[in-house]
Amino acid sequence: MEWKLRIEWEHPRCIACLGSKRLSHEHVIPDSLGGIFTSRILYRECNSRFGS
């Protein structure tokens, strides 16, 4: 059985750059490590800088 957990983020700003563009669903624990937690806390561009 596969399951996912989503952490809700109430704030409209990215935690990395504090910008206020549209946030995307990202893995809190990287997908490459089997991450099942996702949250809307980063922009896709900021998340891409962290890599896997």
Rounded to two decimals, the pTM is 0.58
The yes-or-no verdict on residue 23 having pLDDT over 80 is yes
Q: For residue 15, what pLDDT band results from cuts at 50, 70 and 90?
A: confident
Rounded-to-5 percentages of helix, strand, coil across the chain: 20, 25, 55
Residue 3 has what pLDDT? 66
Half-sphere exposure of 25 (CA within 13 A, CB side): 10
The label of the residue with tokens 């997908």 reads 31
Complete DSSP assignment for 7-45: E----SS-TTT---S--EEEESS-GGGT--EEEEEE-HH
Q: pLDDT tens digits for 31-50?
A: 677 777 778 888 888 878 87
The reported pLDDT for the residue numbered 2 is 60
